[in-house]
Amino acid sequence: MSKFDELCQAYAGSRKAYTDYRDTCFAFAQSLVEALIGYLEIPEGQIGFVPVNREPDPAALYTLPGAMHLDEDTFWHFGVVITLADPSGGCPPQAVLLKLQLKQHEDAFGVRLGQDDEDFWVRPGYPQEMAAFMDHVFTAVKGSYERGLQQFLDQASTRKIGFSE
């Protein structure tokens, strides 16, 4: 075998390793989304996917793999959009974007909700680890709504309204 042939083999091996890693991460992302749907009891039609590395095309219907990208931080990034509705019908529906990230390390996946979130380590076949992350997502979204107005009001503002010197 020539050195060129060895380089071709190395290239093919590298592509296969990437494809295998990608497919494993895609499969785990699917199980993560299925767990989220089950945990939150999201009705059909109230969840979708969007890429988070670019402006999504409003006319496009993204699949989960189509919304995922591998970023420089070595995490797969993707957006899950959940459409919430006011039970009384008094307010219009609101789309909540969850910016999820994951990466495989040995037999577990590090998952987090956004860039600055803590990592949760979830091993396939360990539902309690998945449940801990689902609890975290639920608490974060609910807390955002419960504290949102007060956090906005507590912000120091430099904007002046009316006449001032």
Q: Is 42 left (phi over 0), alpha (psi -120 to 50) or beta?
A: beta
Task: Please tell me the predicted confidence (pLDDT) of residue 158.
Answer: 47
pLDDT along the chain (165 residues), means of 10: 96 97 97 97 96 93 97 97 91 94 96 94 96 96 84 60 43
Dihedral through CA 23, CA 29, CA 30, CA 34, nearest 10? 160
What are the backbone angles phi and psi of residue 18, rounded to the nearest 5°? -65, -45
Specify burial of residue 32 (Cβ count, 10 A radius: 0-12, 13-18, 19+). buried
Cα 46 from Cα 36, distance rounded (Å): 12
Whole-model pTM: value is 0.86
